[in-house]
């Protein structure tokens, strides 16, 4: 039987770090010093270095009544990986800052790191350090991910005439969140044949994937706040407008089925739901790609157009901190 780790008070900060260190052993050869010294040491690369940081706060980004620590760790590194992919980069080195409430068990943190390391191993990311503090009430996670790219893709290169593409169906995560909220309890095993299970898994354990060939891509962003907000970010940065083709926004069958059951509009969820961690990019209309073409870049204005030609203006609605959610 695996040894149960008790209250953090018995283990202390340094005892906990020792446990973390033993879980994060797989280091790539460019890491000269990992966890255990005052700073990590990595050998510089010839490519460009990318650095991104993403926080997750209990009660804001996650609810421990329906997220296991393993799932939380997995998602925590996934959202950071997604930002590196959104720049056309490869993730390489991860640093984790933790604020842990005093009543947590060391086993909780062990499970958190098992989730982090699962995805870290898949993408060959080395966990090279972090910081550990007590927090008063809530669990706080702060991740910093370093990566590299020969050629970076920013939000600012979209031009009128480009097409807009997304790499995966949208809205599954938001629908999954809504189902989890209603259910209000944790899921330890997902049933591959269950429609609801698939949506909930997409929310709890997103799977960011890179775009293989970015040579023709003019701009890119990952969809974290919702399609309409993230298209708007591209428009703002590139100083252009956009048209979204209503019927071309990819929706999974699972989303359509469960939205109907819940009396919700699947398209609305896909446009505003967020946390998809799919990539949205622009490029020439004839680009060879397996991504879904959902619209085009124009000079000015932001519209959704249906197949009959009805055009409505859209606002950047979705999730924004300090504002109410309006899905
Ligand atoms: P210092 O007091 O010099 O800042 P710490 O005691 O905070 O050092 O950290 C000791 C080592 O453990 C460092 O290598 C640090 O990067 C690593 N570390 C601390 N907390 C974490 C964590 N939550 N995850 C991964 N590594 C950590
Ligand atoms: Mg020190």
Write out residues with Cβ below 6 Å of ligand 1: 17, 20, 35-38, 96, 98, 129-132
Average pLDDT over all residues of the chain: 94
| Model pLDDT for residues 283-321, shown as the tens digit of each residue | 999 999 999 999 999 999 999 999 999 999 999 987 666
* pTM (global) more than 0.85: yes
Q: What is the per-residue pLDDT across 125-141, written as a single tens digit (0 to 9) for each?
A: 999 999 999 999 999 99
Closest ligand (CA of 131): 1
pLDDT range class, residue 27, cuts 50, 70, 90: confident
Q: Which of 11, 15, 17 to mutate to test the pocket of ligand 1 (most atoms within 8 A of CB)?
A: 17
Q: What is the DSSP letter of 2?
A: P
- Average pLDDT, integer, range 203-224: 97
Question: Which one of the ligands is nearest to 116 CA?
Answer: 1
Whose CA is closest to 327, among 261, 268, 240?
268
Protein residue with its CA nearest to atom 19 in ligand 1: 131
Residue 11, pLDDT score: 85
**Rounded distance from Cα 1 to ligand 1 centre (Å):** 29
* Residues, CB within 5 angstroms of ligand 2 (ion): 38
DSSP letter for each residue of 237-306: HHT-EEEEEGGGS---HHHHHHHHHTT--HHHHHHH------EEEEE-TT---SSEEEEEEESS-EEEE-
DSSP state at residue 7: B
* pLDDT band with cut points at 50, 70 and 90 for residue 325: very low
Q: Are 152 and 50 in contact (CB under 8 A)?
A: yes
Q: From the alpha carbon of 98, which atom of ligand 1 is closest?
A: 23
Predicted confidence (pLDDT) per residue in 41-75, tens digit: 999 989 999 999 999 999 999 999 999 999 999 99
The percentage of the chain sitting over the pLDDT mark of 90, rounded to a whole number, equals 89
Strands 140-149 and 48-57: antiparallel
pLDDT at 1: 44
User: Residue 322: is its pLDDT beyond 90?
Assistant: no
């Amino acid at each position: 039987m695996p040894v149960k780790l008790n209250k953090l008070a018995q283990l202390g900060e340094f005892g906990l770090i020792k446990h973390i260190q033993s879980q994060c052993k797989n280091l790539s050869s460019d890491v000269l010093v990992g966890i255990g010294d005052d700073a990590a040491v990595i050998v510089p690369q010839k490519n460009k270095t990318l650095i991104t940081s993403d926080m997750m706060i209990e009660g804001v980004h996650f609810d421990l009544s329906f997220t296991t620590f393993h799932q939380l760790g997995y998602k925590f590194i996934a959202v950071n990986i997604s930002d590196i992919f959104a720049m056309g980069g490869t993730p390489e080195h991860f640093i984790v800052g933790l604020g842990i409430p005093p009543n947590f068990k060391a086993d909780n943190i062990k499970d958190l790191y098992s989730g982090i390391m699962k995805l870290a191993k898949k993408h060959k990311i080395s966990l090279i350090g972090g910081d550990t503090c007590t927090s008063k009430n809530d669990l706080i996670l702060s991740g910093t991910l370093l990566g590299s790219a020969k050629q970076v893709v920013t939000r600012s290169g979209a031009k009128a005439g480009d097409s807009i593409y997304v790499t995966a169906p949208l809205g599954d995560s938001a629908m999954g969140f809504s189902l989890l909220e209603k259910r209000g309890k944790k899921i330890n095993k997902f049933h591959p044949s269950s429609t609801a299970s698939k949506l909930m898994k997409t929310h709890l354990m997103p799977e960011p994937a890179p775009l293989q060939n970015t040579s023709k891509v003019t701009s890119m962003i990952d969809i974290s706040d919702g399609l309409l907000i993230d298209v708007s970010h591209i428009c703002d940065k590139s100083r252009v407008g956009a048209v979204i083709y209503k019927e071309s926004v990819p929706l999974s069958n699972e989303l359509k089925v469960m939205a109907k059951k819940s009396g919700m509009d699947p398209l609305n969820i896909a446009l505003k739901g967020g946390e998809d961690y799919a990539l949205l990019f622009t490029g020439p209309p004839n680009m060879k790609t397996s991504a879904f073409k959902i619209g085009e870049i124009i000079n000015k204005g932001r519209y959704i157009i249906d197949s009959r030609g009805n055009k409505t203006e859209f606002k950047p609605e979705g999730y924004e901190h300090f504002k109410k959610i309006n899905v």
